[in-house]
Chains A and B, each alone.
Chain A
Amino acid sequence: MFWKKKKDSKDVAKSRLKLVLTQDRLNCSPDMLEAMKTDILQVIAKYMDFDEKAMDIQISQSQSAEDGKPVLVANIPVLSLRKMK
């Protein structure tokens, strides 16, 4: 509610749990996630330069869908596009 400074701690607990369970249920190993990241970035590097330090790829939870299905979220800051030949 608007007069509350902070979110109720139980709502923080709920959203943290939902995210961690999305990851637990998917049971994606860190090795697999790393390998996938490497492959994705290789493909993207063909088309653009990006900020490797600021980029973030992770499995998260769908914000739109009620069921909270897992989604792969990639946030890759673009520096410049490569010139296509």
Chain B
Amino acid sequence: MAQPGKSGSHGGKGQVIVITSGKGGVGKTTTSANLGVGLAVKGKKVVLIDADIGLRNLDVVMGLENRIVYDLVDVIEGHCRLKQALIRDKRYPDLFLLPAAQTRDKDAVSPEQMKKLTASMQEEFDYILVDCPAGIEQGFKNAISGADKAFVVTTPEVSAVRDADRIIGLLEAAEVRDIKLILNRVRIDMVKKGDMMNLEDVTEILAIDVLGVVPDDEAIVVATNRGEPAVTNQSSRAGASFRNITDRIVDPDVPMLELEQEGGFWSKFKKKIGLGA
């Protein structure tokens, strides 16, 4: 089985980061997979936890669905050791997945158990990324319980932004203080026509720090079809955004990659962060 090996490259404790959104279908799992791979490529030791018990998906997005033996609930209930359940991604030796149980429900885990589990991984890993289920019920409460930080994923639509606002409120109430926004699936053509909110519009409403903005990109669909996250695809615009986001996770001083359309091409890094007032 997987051998997590020696401890990560970090000096102290690894960070527990929950990737959440409220609304389903905005790209939590895709974001989790891409950030996990992106951080592992940068030499960080990463574990991805699929906290969506009963609706397991991170494994297929990662292309690791055929390697599951044990899952999160097996670990929590003591049916196996953590190391037996962790799947090492052979493409990125510093990347591990702890899959969700598929045949159980969210009540199989308690927030205390999740907190203990993520805390037990902080010695070993630099980053513990928790892919949160949609909704604000038990699964959400479990997923955020051990989190130091939260990345809220939203798309520029009224329903997704409204839910993101609710999630931000609940995270604050749960005393998760470090909350950052990832705006996903932005269509520049529609932004230009005034038919889609841009980053500035969304941050005016949500008033939280921005980690990054990701364009709508067919390469994401192709990557998911293949089980190979787009973050390593050099020709994908979304991949470039996810690489920028991983850079910014490791070093917050890295400027944000702006979405632009200059004759259909992407401009490179810009000094200023496109955030208005």
Report which A residues bind B (CB closer than 8 A): 8-11, 13-14, 16-18, 20-21, 24-25
Contact = CB atoms under 8 A, between A and B. Distances in A.
Contacts of A11: 194
A10 B195 contact: yes
Contacts of A16: 158
Given A14-B201, A14-B204, A21 B194 contact: no
B16 to A, nearest CB: 27
A24 B136 CA distance: 15
B165 interface: yes
Given A10-B195, A24-B165, 5 more contacts: A9-B195, A10-B156, A14-B197, A17-B205, A25-B169
B162 A10 contact: no
Contacts of A13: 157-158, 197
A9 to B, nearest CB: 5
A18 B158 CA distance: 10
Interface of B: 156-158, 161-162, 165-166, 169, 191, 193-198, 201, 204-205
16 contacts: A8-B193, A8-B194, A9-B195, A10-B156, A10-B194, A10-B195, A10-B196, A10-B201, A11-B194, A13-B157, A13-B158, A14-B204, A16-B158, A17-B158, A21-B165, A24-B165
A8 B161 contact: no
Contacts of B157: 13
Interface of B is mostly: helix
Given A14-B204, A18-B205, A9 B169 contact: no
A10 B205 contact: no
B208 to A, nearest CB: 13
A13 B166 CA distance: 17
Closest 8 CB pairs of A and B: A8-B194, A10-B197, A9-B195, A13-B158, A21-B165, A17-B158, A10-B194, A17-B205
Most buried by A among B156, B197, B204: B197
Given A9-B194, A10-B194, A17-B161, A24 B201 contact: no
A40 B209 CA distance: 40
Contacts of A18: 205
Contact of B166 (A9, A10, A24): A24
A12 B214 CA distance: 23
Most buried by B among A8, A21, A25: A21
A24 B205 contact: no
Contacts of A14: 197, 201, 204-205
A13 B195 CA distance: 9
